[in-house]
């Protein structure tokens, strides 16, 4: 049957196909997401993946399960996020901003794996650039093979010849199939290339690592079906002007999505941060300064202590400024309204600047108590004791609400040598505190927390 070329409209958000342009996608309901592409008709569409045998329906009670075979990665932080290692036959997508360190993270891990044949497919960098990066990392390997290609058919020929035990594709948006007459990075190309690589991973049992671009909103670029195809989606983020990077799990079919890994960007690549609390707290021996408090936050299921800095001064130009770094600006305005209405501090005509030390972005509501304490400390110019930390969510009526995993927060504070921790009242029911060396101060209202700190 002769091939015919026609124009087809695809939704860039969900991949829904339409024969004509529509303003609103009928699949996901998003507006102005339909893009035109040239599609080839007259050829059969391939299935998602083929395991090489006939599948027959069978009762769920008769399915035999086996232990997942995992490849232990050299980075313990990466193993934690993956759920214990790279599962054989899985396909993992790693996304992040340009220059954040995605390729460096993958390259320094695969160069440290011994005894396994690895194929690294680069569609963005030359082999000489990858060699320079490997020299900078200080790791060279004879079992890691590099090929620079963007044709899917050519890549699969290299795969059939080399038969790698791990395949890395950098990046999926640069790969294009000759069977589709559209440019690389388009909806149809990304979907078809990901489906072909998934078919290879499931049939061969070799894991595939994909590196992907993100859009200006911070989500994975391309159709949403790309995230549905893969087994795990990891987000590598952080501020390029700071040295810390956080690896989060957005989707993981073989592990928890609550884990995260923390790295520090150094000259020789990425260094694992096993105890982030010690790095995020200043070790200055100077006199105590106002406007600084220590909060116990939780990223996933991993607690660590972080320094909250605030500066409150009289508005010099009439209109008060509100500047926030690393925290939700709307939430800070809500906390300022609570201090104004419920506690009686007049902050409407004052500039308020808030900064989370280390360049991290924190969304844990348990940091509310640390934020308002640092703001009040700067306002009254009284320092919060450096051996005191706190954790609690602040409500609109000025009450301090309970937080999750308070036991882990207390144990982390005790491990770092803090003498007192402020927590919400009745938040530790059933938790034995007799063996703890740290003093636990339970507070129910914001005023009570202030009296405990500045009595």
341 is in an annotated binding site: no
Examine residue 239 and say whether the peptide bond preceding it is cis (omega within 30 degrees of 0): no
Give CA–CA dist 452/433, Å, rounded.
20
52 is in an annotated binding site: no
Query: Residue 63 has what DSSP assignment?
Result: P
261 is in an annotated binding site: no
Give the up-direction half-sphere exposure of residue 279: CA atoms within 13 A in the CB hemisphere.
16
Residue 149's CB is within 10 A of a number of other CB atoms, namely 15
Cβ contacts of 244 within 8 Å, gap of 6 or more: 238, 262, 263, 264, 265, 273, 276, 279, 358, 359, 360
For 398, list phi and psi in degrees, rounded to 5.
90, 5
395 is in an annotated binding site: no
Give CA–CA dist 276/389, Å, rounded.
16
99 is in an annotated binding site: yes
98 is in an annotated binding site: yes
Query: How far does CA 110 lie from the centroid of its chain?
Result: 21
95 is in an annotated binding site: no
Query: How far does CA 369 lie from the centroid of its chain?
Result: 25
Give CA–CA dist 444/397, Å, rounded.
11
Which residues carry a binding-site annotation?
96-103
Which residues carry a binding-site annotation for ATP?
96-103
């Amino acid at each position: 049957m002769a091939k015919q070329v026609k124009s087809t409209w695809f939704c860039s958000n969900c991949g829904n196909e339409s024969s004509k342009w529509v303003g609103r996608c009928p699949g996901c309901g998003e507006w102005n997401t339909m893009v035109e592409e040239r599609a080839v008709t007259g050829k059969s569409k391939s299935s998602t993946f083929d395991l090489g045998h006939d599948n027959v329906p069978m009762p769920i009670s008769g399915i035999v399960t086996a232990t997942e075979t995992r490849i232990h990665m050299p980075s313990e932080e990466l193993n934690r996020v993956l759920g214990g290692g790279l599962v054989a036959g899985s396909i993992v997508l790693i996304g992040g901003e340009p220059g954040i360190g995605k390729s460096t993270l993958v390259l320094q891990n695969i160069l440290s794996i011994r005894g396994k044949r690895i194929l690294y497919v680069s569609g963005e960098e030359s082999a000489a650039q990858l060699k320079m990066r490997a020299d900078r990392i200080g790791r060279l390997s004879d079992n890691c093979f590099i090929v620079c290609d963007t044709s899917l058919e050519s890549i699969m020929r290299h795969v059939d010849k080399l038969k790698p035990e791990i395949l890395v594709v950098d990046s999926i948006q640069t790969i294009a199939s000759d069977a589709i007459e559209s440019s690389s990075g388009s909806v149809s190309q990304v979907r078809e290339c990901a489906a072909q690589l998934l078919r290879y991973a499931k049939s061969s049992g070799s894991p595939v690592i994909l590196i992907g671009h993100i859009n200006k909103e911070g989500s994975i670029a391309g159709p949403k079906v790309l995230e549905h195809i893969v087994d795990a989606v990891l987000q590598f983020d952080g501020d390029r002007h700071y040295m810390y990077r956080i690896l989060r799990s957005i989707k993981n079919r073989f592990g928890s999505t609550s884990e995260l890994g923390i790295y520090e960007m150094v000259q020789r690549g990425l260094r694992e941060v096993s105890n982030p609390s010690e790095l995020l707290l200043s070790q200055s021996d100077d006199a105590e300064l106002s406007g600084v408090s220590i909060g116990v936050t939780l990223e996933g299921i991993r607690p660590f202590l972080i320094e909250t800095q605030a500066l409150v001064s009289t508005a010099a130009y009439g209109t008060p400024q509100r500047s926030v770094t690393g925290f939700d600006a709307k939430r800070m305005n809500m906390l300022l309204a609570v201090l104004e209405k419920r506690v009686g501090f007049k902050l409407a005509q004052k500039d308020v600047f808030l900064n989370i030390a280390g360049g991290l972005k924190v969304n844990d509501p348990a940091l509310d108590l640390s934020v308002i304490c640092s703001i009040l400390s700067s306002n009254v110019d009284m320092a919060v004791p450096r051996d005191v930390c706190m954790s609690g969510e602040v409500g609109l009526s000025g009450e301090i609400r309970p937080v999750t995993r308070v036991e882990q927060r207390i144990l982390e504070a005790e491990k770092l040598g803090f003498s007192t921790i402020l927590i919400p009242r009745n938040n530790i029911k059933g938790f034995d505190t007799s063996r703890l060396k740290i003093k636990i101060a339970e507070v129910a209202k914001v005023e009570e927390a202030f009296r405990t700190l500045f009595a």
